[in-house]
Structure 1
């Protein structure tokens, strides 16, 4: 591909990482990948300095000065999305640029701007996990995936919260120049090419680190190293000396998901890492990650990641040999 123009739309109170995360990916790709040539610009309704939610001010170009067509339109998220979504001038310019763009994307709550502009109607999309319910209720014509790190629906891509903009930009680089190019950029930025699991894992797993109950904290620390053990609710309840009902209630309250969901996510994460970094057979990985049979692991991959272990390895397994 030749020279690709990227316009990142922002506004006052934007989250700075929603803007700079994708910019760093495109900038690094241009430096590291011989065939990549991304021209990036940050734009806003009126242009000039924009004050981000972090207090950092950065320069922007006025939307009226953006020359069409842009190849990739990126709409960043921010703290005051109601104001951005009510800015008819902003929405009009977003529609204008989107009409000629090869692909339309958003980071975090930037999905609300795309939805307000009518660009997500009838499509699958995602946003920050804490805002998914609001997006779904405000725009019932949008099919909101609350677990995805990013969603691609045709030429429209949306991503989850904040750092997921980096995941999205890496996926865009992979779409343009292949997974090896994206992997080179990911290694340079010291980030995962693709994080295992969905975004809902982050709120429960981070909450798990702050679990108030000492037995639950100890259990959470023990689980990742014992994935082949009997991790059924009765077995786990016995381990922490609680009744099954009491254990399930305490675990769900403190961790945010059921014990079975948490165990499955741990096993999926371990399986993804082994698929990406080893040449172990799929049935061996299923066994050592606690799934038992490959069919069980395959069903979990389908349900949680919308892929298969084989497809995951084909996309990301080359990292093991580079």
Structure 2
């Protein structure tokens, strides 16, 4: 069985925990699976840069472009930079179009705001961190 592509979208101001926790779960799944056939192909993407900086850490990421292959699962971690991410010029041209290609969309904590801005949560009930006020349409 071929590996399922899991892509994490990063941005300046991402929460390291929101990225590292889910990423570590997939890394562990690959580790405990058959070594020659990992069930997941993992990649980290960014809209503008191959280096995302947050909490004094830098992260190498592939640039999300219109030609980026479709993922099975697209994960958007949360973080204090999520609202700035949603107003970047290529948010609509690259991120929103890329969500259309994914079979499964996942957000962690405030990452839900990116999926909401992309129109992917219309008509759905969602939740996020308790300190954010209720946002209704």
TM-score, with structure 1 as normaliser: 0.40
For the 8 Å contact 2:66–2:98, the answer to whether it is kept is: no
For the 8 Å contact 1:81–1:109, the answer to whether it is kept is: yes
For the 8 Å contact 1:3–1:38, the answer to whether it is kept is: yes
Pairs within 5 Å for 1:107-146: 107-131=108-132, 133=133, 136-137=134-135, 140-141=136-137
For the 8 Å contact 1:72–1:101, the answer to whether it is kept is: yes
Aligned to 2:50: 48
Deviation, structure 1 residue 64:
1.1
2:8 and 2:14 map into 1 onto residues whose CA distance is: 11
- Structure 1: segments with no counterpart, 5+ residues: 142-322
> 2:13 aligned with 1:21, yes or no?
no
Deviation, structure 1 residue 90:
2.1
For the 8 Å contact 2:45–2:62, the answer to whether it is kept is: yes
Q: Which consecutive segments of 4 or more residues in structure 1 shift more than 4 A? A: none
Pairs within 5 Å for 1:254-265: none
Q: 1:111 to 1:91 in 2, by over 3 A?
A: farther
Aligned to 2:83: 82
Q: Tell me the alpha carbon deviations over residues 15-65 of structure 1, each in whole angstroms, 9 at most, x when there is no partner.
A: 11111111110011011133751111111112311111x221111110017
Helix, strand or coil: the match of 2:122?
coil
1:128 and 1:122 map into 2 onto residues whose CA distance is: 20
- Structure 2: segments with no counterpart, 5+ residues: none
Deviation, structure 1 residue 66:
5.8
More relative contact order, 1 or 2 (CA 8 Å, 6+ apart): 2
For the 8 Å contact 1:91–1:113, the answer to whether it is kept is: no
Aligned to 1:5: 5
Q: Larger Rg: 1 or 2?
A: 1
1:57 and 1:93 map into 2 onto residues whose CA distance is: 22
User: Would you tell me which structure has more helix in proportion to its own residues?
Assistant: 1
Pairs within 5 Å for 1:81-230: 81-131=82-132, 133=133, 136-137=134-135, 140-141=136-137
Measured on the aligned residues, the alpha-carbon RMSD in Å equals 1.8
Deviation, structure 1 residue 77:
1.1
For the 8 Å contact 2:77–2:108, the answer to whether it is kept is: yes
Deviation, structure 1 residue 111:
0.5
1:78 and 1:127 map into 2 onto residues whose CA distance is: 11
Deviation, structure 1 residue 2:
2.9
Helix, strand or coil: the match of 1:28?
helix
> 2:65 aligned with 1:64, yes or no?
yes
User: Would you tell me which structure has more strand in proportion to its own residues?
Assistant: 2
Deviation, structure 1 residue 112:
0.6
Q: Tell me the alpha carbon deviations over residues 145-201 of structure 1, each in whole angstroms, 9 at most, x when there is no partner.
A: xxxxxxxxxxxxxxxxxxxxxxxxxxxxxxxxxxxxxxxxxxxxxxxxxxxxxxxxx
2:107 and 2:23 map into 1 onto residues whose CA distance is: 13
